[in-house]
Structure 1
Amino acid sequence: MEPEPLYNLLQLPKGVALPGEEVEEELPQGGKKKYLPPASRKDPKFLELQKVLTEWINATLLPEHIVVRSLEEDMFDGLVLHHLFQTLSGLKLEAEEIALTTASQRRKLEVVLGAVRQSLGAEEPQDVWSVDAIFNKDLLATLHLLVALARRFQPDLALPPDVRVEVITIESTKGGLRSEKSLEQLTTSSMDKDQAPGDVFDELFKLAPEKVGTVKEAIMSFVNQKLERLGLSVQDLDTQFADGVILLLLIGQLEGFFLHLKEFHLTPRSPAEMLHNVTLALTLLKDEGLLSHPVSPEDIVNKDAKSTLRVLYSLFCKHKLKVDKDGRPQAPTN
């Protein structure tokens, strides 16, 4: 055996077997498994990241009297993740509230991670936090997942920047076990760089809230003009787009899309079905290059006025935008 692989294996966490022992039984041929050596677990920035995330979770779930003491031991069964995601997203998940058996815990975790995956879309590398990894108490996978949730739902959370740890990957080959050291990145050099800059609606709501109503009227006039041929009308922009149905029909009308009824829920009966509709709508807009500012589907479902206006304004700009002499949008004419 080469000296370097031997050195790596000798740095495995306590309780991990060396070649010839249980590791070979755990790993089928071609299988891989990552381990955190003791030095990585003691890294100050790695410990600080866990501390910040733990305090964030406990503060978020304080009203529900849920306390997390160990991210490695308390997150695997989906209970905390279930409550955390529901609190952050405002969505009600159709999952067992109490899961006592291994099978029910795994089912619960699958439901929760499925909802998280749908919420994050393609914005995060989700292969690093699979159901298997989280359920097997993989600390690295758990941290990747929590960082992704924090960045989506609380981007102002002060996560320690540039957290990287050395990991050891053990692979079972025909010739035996092979190990390799690598660095795993958990947070970027500056988390602030990944935050989206403000847009015109941030400024509008902050500096000229009295003009929000005027903008809404102009956009609603545009929307109703386009929906008239479908026999539909909108009286409240904030609420009537929350389930995604009218939004999908509007996009189809303007962009010439035909959406089969199997692709979305025409009469959504749950927040999950509403989220599916809105996520599909935002995906269509992104594919057409219409969204210049990131929009969370949860915000639309939760009737966030600013997010809903962003989406409708993107369509307004493309399909019939006229402005007055001061640069304010006006309702389109026939």
Structure 2
Amino acid sequence: MDTGLPDVPGLPPGSGRKGPRGGLWPGLFGAVRLSALQLFGVLLAVVGLWTSYYTIPAESEGIVLRFGEYILKVPPGLHFKLPFGVDEVLTVPTQRQLKLEFGFTTPSHTNPDQAAISPEKERSMVTGDLNSALVEWIVQYRITEPETYLFAVREPGQTLRDISESVMREVVGDRTVDEIITIGRQQIEDRVLQRMRELSERYHLGLSINQVQLKNVNPPEPVQPSFNEVNRAQQDRENAINLANGEYNKAVPRARGEADQKIRAAEGYRFKRVNEAEGDAAAFTAVLEQYVKAPEVTRTRIYLETLGEVLPNTRQAIIVDDSVQQLLPMLPLPERLPEATQ
């Protein structure tokens, strides 16, 4: 039947009718309602598809929660879950080396567990000798059990900060300010690291404490100039002691070596004289034995041997009798006579 009204797109021809007040047609309302339902269905499908997958980075692990309850732990990569917020995924950086800074902050530090408290309050400590010191340190750790880290302790990052600060104050309070600034740094780091590992296991933080490193350890700013002067004087004293020890190590061994050399020379001379004396005594004893047996023969032999040793060392000489009245018959004299008569 022709109603004289224009046809409505999407409806059968001739089905367009006016409403009671001449408004839009009921068929048009039905078409719009149908299109809205289809659009909502498409939008719902897109949202469901969009929220049904997730990706875990290579250095992290994922913790899947279903209606807030822990379900499983997933490795890095692409994974699927129930959409529309039924499953929630928490990403935990388990393969990343994390660190906490105490007493100072660096602009590039992005650890979410880094609390926004005053660094001045953190680094101000009292030592065992009732002195004040400003201690700055770093704690490096890694999350080994992500499910324990998330659910065993409330705010595990802040708990770790509290543990570190408490242990550091305890260890620093048992040592003098000189030990903290100079010779005791390594012992403090080792002790704090051991103590933090014990407490993290006791509190089930799911963390592995890798290193505790002391950075700047200084006295309070008002006394820093005086403290630096004391340190400088101590260093000068150590340098003077080291120089004196060096001179001592050079002079004393040299003197000891010279003394040993002279002692050995004296001992050698003593052995030489003793041996020579013993040899002379043995020779004299042998001669004495022969002299006892034949005194005249031995005396003559000794006389001749002595002349044989002495005469070669004397100059040429002419011996004349006292009765000689003149020397003329004895001319010409030998050429060496003037030398002999001198």
TM-score range, shorter chain: under 0.3
Name the one with the larger strand percent: 2
| Higher RCO structure (Cα 8 Å, ≥6 apart) | 1
Q: What TM-score, normalized by structure 2, do the two folds share?
A: 0.18
> Which of structures 1 and 2 has the bigger CA Rg?
2
Q: What TM-score, normalized by structure 1, do the two folds share?
A: 0.19
